[in-house]
Amino acid sequence: MAKQQKQNDSQISYDFDAIVIGTGPGGEGAAMGLAKAGQTVAVVERHSAVGGGCTHWGTIPSKALRQSVSQLMQFNSNPLFSESGRDKHFTFPQILKHAEGVIRQQTRLRASFYDRNRVSLIKGEASFIDKNTICITHQDGSTQEIKAKTIVIATGSRPYRPADVDFNHPRVYDSDTILSLKHDPRSIVIYGAGVIGSEYASIFRGLGVKVDLINTRDRLLAFLDNEVSDAISYHLRNNGTVIRNGEEYEAISASNDGVILKTQSGKRFKADCLLFANGRTGNTDTLNLSAVGLTSDGRGQVKVNENYQTEVDNIYAVGDVIGYPSLASAAYDQGRIAANFITKSGIQSKLIADIPTGIYTIPEISSVGKTEQELTAAKIPYEVGKAQFKHLARAQIANSTTGGLKILFHPDTREILGIHCFGISASEIIHIGQAIMQQEGGANTVDYFVNTTFNYPTMAEAYRVAALNGLNRLF
């Protein structure tokens, strides 16, 4: 039977070696890897421009917004620029213009990758006919069919929308539609205090908007090291954000003059608008997965093995559509790894064990490796080295002294077990420690930071300060 199947497959006339559905980071990583290995590749994108949710609604626009707001806050807090006694104020739509410019630049850049590598870009909605055939429905309603030996699903995710919330109302938004906000709200309720909710709480509060942040969990960003979680909670509150932990909504009602959210505990919150940022759903509902015998779970995600191969041997999936870690950086690597497995006849590679996390709140957060609570639960002994940014000359010069760096290391081997950073440039600073953690042969120890020489003044010298602080605790 298997021999007969191989003969049937060999008789199929393919249009391409591979089809990639989606042009976000995962799709781009797969398409570039396949094309550079000499395969003929088509990518299918349902939107007018490439880049996926990462470029158009997620990572890029929210970080561009955050950068503008952070600069505005620094300007207003700097005594050099506050002689008039009046703070500068920009509306949300005004600062969106900067984000729109960044999106255009990113879109042009990403489109050039496909052109340069001779990848065919087809606009339209893709769905399966069989395991080798895709039907593409174009915007004008016309359809076309294309065939390939391999198909990679990289369709990403979208904000979760419960049926009892009216997202068609002009005062109710999710993390995609918030970018179409046209008015200048004085208050906002943000439901969901994960990464997206916390980032937007920072953005709106930085613009002077009254923010109620409703957290469904007992503590903010509970996956973080407890000390960092406590720090971001303190700074959000200190900046005026009201955080309500352990709350679930019972009803959300919108009218012409605002939105009211009622919690199951009986509390009521009213604001000019509401941002619902509680979870995401994989974009698999229009793919007709049943035609190839695949199913998605309740979150729209598909199962894959360690090579990103689904239960159908020639169909792969990468990025948000497979769930954790749901990071743009990891999605690109997943696409690249899948392409490597496809083109090199089963040669395996895999993601690094310690994937860094960057959270672009104000102040910024980044971490890699284990948290204190994880090490304690696993009964792994560790010591802590800390550096406070307020003691660094570079932070003083930049007037950005909030936060610090924490290194967790084994007291006997001195191996670095985890690094946690909170404050200016945290997502950049973390990569120095990550690079040392990845070293082998005993080179991944905290001693490196003591024995090397850092530029002065820099934020990077926080590693030397933290290392010395931790080593001084040993006995």
321 lies in a domain?
Answer: yes
Residue that is last in its domain, among 221, 250, 278: 278
> What residue has token string 């080295």?
385
Statement to judge: residues 151 and 289 lie in one domain: yes
Q: Give the Cα separation of 186 and 333 in Å (integer).
A: 41
Sign, CA torsion 27/30/36/40: negative
What is residue 456's predicted lDDT score, i.e. its pLDDT? 96
DSSP secondary structure, 180-209, as one string: G--S--SEEEEE--SHHHHHHHHHHHHTT-
The answer to whether the annotation marks 328 as part of a ligand binding site is no
The answer to whether the annotation marks 3 as part of a ligand binding site is no
Q: Quick check: helix, strand or coil at residue 390?
A: helix
355 lies in a domain?
Answer: no
The answer to whether the annotation marks 258 as part of a ligand binding site is no
> What residue has token string 């090199």?
344
What is residue 98's predicted lDDT score, i.e. its pLDDT? 80
Q: Give the Cα separation of 206 and 202 in Å (integer).
A: 6
The answer to whether the annotation marks 54 as part of a ligand binding site is yes
The answer to whether the annotation marks 166 as part of a ligand binding site is no
The answer to whether the annotation marks 368 as part of a ligand binding site is no
2 lies in a domain?
Answer: no
What is residue 99's predicted lDDT score, i.e. its pLDDT? 83
348 lies in a domain?
Answer: no
354 lies in a domain?
Answer: no
The answer to whether the annotation marks 300 as part of a ligand binding site is no
352 lies in a domain?
Answer: no
The answer to whether the annotation marks 194 as part of a ligand binding site is yes
Statement to judge: residues 410 and 449 lie in one domain: yes
The answer to whether the annotation marks 41 as part of a ligand binding site is no
Statement to judge: residues 274 and 285 lie in one domain: no
The answer to whether the annotation marks 26 as part of a ligand binding site is no
10-residue averages of pLDDT along the chain (475 residues): 48 91 96 96 94 86 89 79 68 82 91 95 96 95 96 96 96 94 93 97 94 97 96 96 97 95 97 96 96 95 96 97 93 96 82 92 97 98 98 94 97 98 97 95 95 96 98 95
Sign, CA torsion 203/205/211/217: positive
Domain limits for position 84: 12-157+281-343
Q: Give the Cα separation of 313 and 309 in Å (integer).
A: 6
Q: Give the Cα separation of 367 and 357 in Å (integer).
A: 5
The answer to whether the annotation marks 290 as part of a ligand binding site is no
Among candidate residues 343, 298, 394, the one with its CA nearest the CA of residue 30: 343
Tokens representing residue 310 in the block: 């689904």
Statement to judge: residues 229 and 293 lie in one domain: no
The answer to whether the annotation marks 47 as part of a ligand binding site is yes
The answer to whether the annotation marks 206 as part of a ligand binding site is no
The answer to whether the annotation marks 22 as part of a ligand binding site is no
Distance of CA 12 to the CA centre of its chain: 39
The answer to whether the annotation marks 296 as part of a ligand binding site is no
Q: Give the Cα separation of 472 and 475 in Å (integer).
A: 8
The answer to whether the annotation marks 85 as part of a ligand binding site is no
Exposed, middle or buried, 25 (CB in 10 Å: 0-12/13-18/19+)? Answer: buried
The answer to whether the annotation marks 48 as part of a ligand binding site is yes
The answer to whether the annotation marks 424 as part of a ligand binding site is no
23 lies in a domain?
Answer: yes
77 lies in a domain?
Answer: yes
Among candidate residues 426, 436, 441, the one with its CA nearest the CA of residue 467: 436
Q: Quick check: helix, strand or coil at residue 134?
A: strand
The answer to whether the annotation marks 402 as part of a ligand binding site is no
For residue 43, give the CATH number of its domain: 3.50.50.60
The answer to whether the annotation marks 198 as part of a ligand binding site is yes
What is residue 9's predicted lDDT score, i.e. its pLDDT? 57
Statement to judge: residues 89 and 150 lie in one domain: yes
Q: Cα 317–318–319 angle (5° rounding)?
A: 140
The answer to whether the annotation marks 197 as part of a ligand binding site is yes
The answer to whether the annotation marks 156 as part of a ligand binding site is yes
Sign, CA torsion 337/340/345/347: negative
The answer to whether the annotation marks 155 as part of a ligand binding site is yes
The answer to whether the annotation marks 101 as part of a ligand binding site is no
Q: Which residues, including other chains, have CB under 8 Å from residue 387's CB and lie 6 or more apart? A: 404, 405, 462, 463, 465, 466, 469
